[in-house]
Structure 1
Amino acid sequence: MEKTIDELIQQLKTDDDFDREEALGQLEVRSEESFDSLVEALGNRNKKIRRYSAQVLGYIGDERAIEPLIVVLEDNNKFVRREASTALLRIGEPAYDSLIELLNHENWRVRGAAAWALGGLGKEEAIESLEPLLNDESGFVKAGAKSAINQIKESN
């Protein structure tokens, strides 16, 4: 019997890699049916559910997930934030303008995550927006900006 979307989302918190991968795959395949529940799961109390819901949204690549994923960049868990940043990178071009705007966010975690994601997009015009972050008060943001600029230059 096929599992419900809610059952698959609950399965994301398992420690069994095989079971979690099965749930990730099913949620991706059933993206039309699972999208809204995955967005809702970004606010779940369980960090694994938030993390892997962000991952699936990145695999799905629907630009409607951009705003909810941006909110998750402020999550207290670094793995959840990293997965949200990676998901925005996977969504690609539609997330670019939002990521550029986030470089001015008051939260260093958000600025840093945006910088790291922009590096993966490889758009040369992002360098101008990233350069001021090389003097950011946060070491994480500085490292993200430096890495992003180098990654962009290497890809072009």
Structure 2
Amino acid sequence: MRLLSFIHNLFNTEAAQGTIPRELRDIRTALLSGFNDPDVLVRTISVEMAGRMQRLDTLPELTEMLHDPFHVIRQKAAQALGLIGSRKAVPALIAALEDPSDEVKVMAAGVLGHLRDRMAVPALIAALEDKSAHTRMKSAISLGCLGDTAAIPALGKALKDTNELVRKYACEALGNLGRKAIPVLLEAMKDERIRAIVTESLVRIKP
């Protein structure tokens, strides 16, 4: 409860002055203490705050929170790493694509696209085969953000996915990958389900 009180007062300097125990006045110390708290709520709030405050100095500990027993905390840790924005988190986020929780995988896939490190391309290509449609969808979006043409064959295959949104976002991602994606998109014009989206993607490709 002391940590919760501390976090509650972080942005209220006047209220915080003189009311926070000395050992909690250092924000990093407080956050790291929260990461290890037995209370799930305290851990969750601490992870969220580290991300919102963009505490780069908590990066190693935040990556460890991707292994927390509670899947919501693992998801929040992935989100926090995205808010901090350091590519040093990419290897840990790639590993999170194998998480048993779909929510964690979806968040990790999205953050990898946000960080724009091409190291993640092979893992995101593999994630296009994930059992979770949401993970496949988010992986397609992120591959479009990363702009690596190595993803074209896998995204072309994803155009035949059983899920409508996966097909849509794979098509849009191909539109972001430039002229090398044109043959795959032209072939996809044969599929009436995605013809309109394919046309839009082709139009977006610069001559």
Instruction: Give the TM-score, by structure 2 length.
Output: 0.56
Structure 1 residue 105 corresponds to structure 2 residue 130:
yes
Query: In 2, distance between residues paired with 1:37 and 1:125?
Result: 30
Which of 39, 42, 57 is the equivalent residue of 1:29? 57
- Please report how far the alpha carbon of residue 64 of structure 1 lies from its aligned counterpart in structure 2 after TM superposition: 2.7
Distance 1:5 1:103, change over 3 A: same
Query: In 2, distance between residues paired with 1:155 and 1:71?
Result: 33
Distance 1:82 1:70, change over 3 A: closer
**Structure 2 unpaired stretches of 5+:** 1-24, 179-203
Structure 1 residue 51 corresponds to structure 2 residue 75:
yes
- Please report how far the alpha carbon of residue 82 of structure 1 lies from its aligned counterpart in structure 2 after TM superposition: 4.0
Match of residue 108 from structure 2: 84
Distance 1:139 1:12, change over 3 A: farther
Query: In 2, distance between residues paired with 1:26 and 1:12?
Result: 16
SS at match of 2:176: helix
Identity percentage over the alignment? 21
- Please report how far the alpha carbon of residue 31 of structure 1 lies from its aligned counterpart in structure 2 after TM superposition: 1.6
Structure 1 residue 68 corresponds to structure 2 residue 95:
yes
Root-mean-square deviation over aligned CA pairs: 3.0
Query: In 2, distance between residues paired with 1:108 and 1:93?
Result: 22
- Please report how far the alpha carbon of residue 53 of structure 1 lies from its aligned counterpart in structure 2 after TM superposition: 0.5
Q: Deviations over 1:70-95 (max 9, x none)?
A: 024x6344xx5442122222162111
**Structure 1 unpaired stretches of 5+:** none
Distance 1:83 1:155, change over 3 A: farther
Distance 1:6 1:152, change over 3 A: farther
Query: In 2, distance between residues paired with 1:125 and 1:53?
Result: 29
Amino acid at match of 2:119: P
Distance 1:122 1:131, change over 3 A: same
SS at match of 2:134: helix
- Structure of higher RCO (CA pairs closer than 8 Å, 6+ residues apart): 1
Confirm or deny: 8 A CA contact 2:109 2:138 kept in the other structure.
yes
- Please report how far the alpha carbon of residue 118 of structure 1 lies from its aligned counterpart in structure 2 after TM superposition: 0.4
Distance 1:23 1:125, change over 3 A: closer
Confirm or deny: 8 A CA contact 2:79 2:108 kept in the other structure.
yes
Amino acid at match of 2:80: V
Match of residue 133 from structure 1: 158
Match of residue 142 from structure 2: 117
- Please report how far the alpha carbon of residue 98 of structure 1 lies from its aligned counterpart in structure 2 after TM superposition: 1.1
SS at match of 2:97: helix
Figure out how many residues of one structure are paired with residues of the other and give that number.
145
Distance 1:139 1:37, change over 3 A: same
Instruction: Give the TM-score, by structure 1 length.
Output: 0.71
Q: Report the structure, 1 or 2, having the larger helix content.
A: 1
Bigger radius of gyration among the two:
2
